[in-house]
Structure 1
Amino acid sequence: MAARAWRGTLAVEDFVAHWRGAVGDAAPHRHFAAQAVFSDAPVRIHYGDCRIAAGRCVLIEPGVAHRLEPVEAADIYFVEPTGRLSLPAVLRDRLAATEAPILSEPDVPGFWASGAAHSIAPPLDPRVARAAAAIDRRLHDGAVRLVDIAAEAGLSAGRFRHLFAAEIGIAFQRYVLWRRVGVAARRLAAGAGLTGAAHAAGFADAAHLARTMKAMFGITSGAAF
């Protein structure tokens, strides 16, 4: 059977991305983002240990391994679950108008289930906020080392590692990778080539970016853009 392609547009903002269009073939994957999937026709999602959920709206918690079956038209929102933003009004309204199953795992922190999506979390610890800003400044330089960012936060590497994970909800290197993907996606959406977008985000090359996109979203950067 011929592969079914992703066709649509990806709008990327600082802490949220929105895909609108056809959902094609994808490999099982997991990512830092909380995900909301809307479709006029029920969409089937494989997750966890051979489980399947279906519905016109399905919410996926961060870190849950999943795979969407192809569907002709869908709106998919990817939300960075750090509590540093309020949801876009259109997404809040759509969520308020429907009841949706939440796909989760027992050991995965909840974003949708906790109600965090509908409230503003307390501000980040100022040291972690400084660290997050430092990470973004250094992304295009290549390596972003925990020890360097910890120093900017005024903490030992060990203390910083634990505080960062507790505040952000994800390990340091995984967060850095997520932010790199965001930079690359915004460059690609603006018309940059794969190599230029990869280098701007601090990836070694276009192949490195493609592998990372495949692991995080189940499709390569070339397929998405």
Structure 2
Amino acid sequence: MKMSETWSGDLWLAKDYAIFHGSLGVSTIHAHHAHQLILAQNEPAHVEIGSDRVRASQIWIESMRSHAILTPLVSHYSVYAEPHAIDGQLLLKSISTNEITMSALNVTMDKLGRKPPLDTRVEHALRQVDLQLEGKISADKIAKSVHISLSQLERLFSAQLGLSVRRLVLWRRLRVALATTLQGWTLTEAAHAAGFADSAHLSRTMRSIFGIRADRSLAHMRLRLLN
């Protein structure tokens, strides 16, 4: 396996944020729901964001912004934050680069203020999505469960989450698949547990959202689930 294709390290996963420390491999162009803050250690990170190429020790990538990792990093930290819960600018102001460790970053993220609660209909819809991730999810039924039309639900999701219902479901499924795979499940087992048709469907989703191959990266990560 080429060094440039390998991601390895520790992933700490919480409800609305994640922290990764380890080797960062190159990726294809992709976009994910979470904000991402890259904190390089030994050498600057080299990232393509939209039409720009950025080389720096600290790089901020906003939610759903297309980007690609252009060169591998031997050691770095990445902080991922759910945009509906965590204000990106507040996160940037709160991260201290004087002494970066997984524990220090986790304390910062845990103490970080959260945005006001979402519309109660959106909150209920998200709970319904999470309860149904193992099977087929009908956006129309989700909308009916909160007594609004599908078009109204889509508008609410777009306004408050920045995602369509379908994209939100994929994002939630991928989180489940990541967690189960990193706990020792096979890709096929994790795919089915998260509601993907098969491991190929999971792999395609991983590629489109994180720009990397699931089979080449997940086997080299260690997971810690946070409260």
What TM-score does the superposition give when structure 1 sets the normalisation length? Answer: 0.82
Q: For residues 218 and 127 of structure 1, what CA distance do their matches in structure 2 show?
A: 32
1:137/1:125 CA distance change after superposition, 3 Å? same
1: CA distance between counterparts of 2:188 and 2:3?
A: 25
Structure 1 residues 206 and 137 mapped into 2: Cα distance closer, same or farther (>3 Å)?
A: same
Unaligned runs of 5+ in 2: 99-111, 219-227
Aligned partners of 1:30 and 1:63 also within 8 Å = yes
Q: Deviations over 1:29-54 (max 9, x none)?
A: 111110011111211111212x1112
Decide which of 72, 75, 80 is 1:73's aligned counterpart: 75
Residue of 106, 121, 125 corresponding to 2:115: 121
The count of corresponding residues between Structure 1 and Structure 2 is 201
Task: Using the aligned pairs only, state the percent identity.
Answer: 32
1:211 aligns with 2:213: no
1:39 corresponds in structure 2 to 40
- Tell me if 1:170 matches 2:163: yes
TM-score, normalising length: structure 2: 0.81
Aligned to 1:103: none
**1:220–1:94 CA distance, 2 compared to 1 (3 A):** farther
Moved beyond 3 Å, runs of 4+: 91-94
- 2:133 equivalent in structure 1: 139
Partner of 1:181: 174
Where 1:178 maps in the other structure, the secondary structure is helix
Q: After superposition, give the CA deviation of every residue in 1:79-99 in whole Å (9 maximum; x if it has no partner).
A: 12112x689xxx77862448x
1:132/1:184 CA distance change after superposition, 3 Å: same
Note the C-alpha offset of 1:3.
Answer: 5.3
Residue correspondence of structure 1 range 52-91 to structure 2 within 5 A: 52-68=53-69, 69-83=71-85
Alpha-carbon distance, 1:171 to partner: 1.2
8 Å contact 2:3–2:72 — kept in the other structure?
no
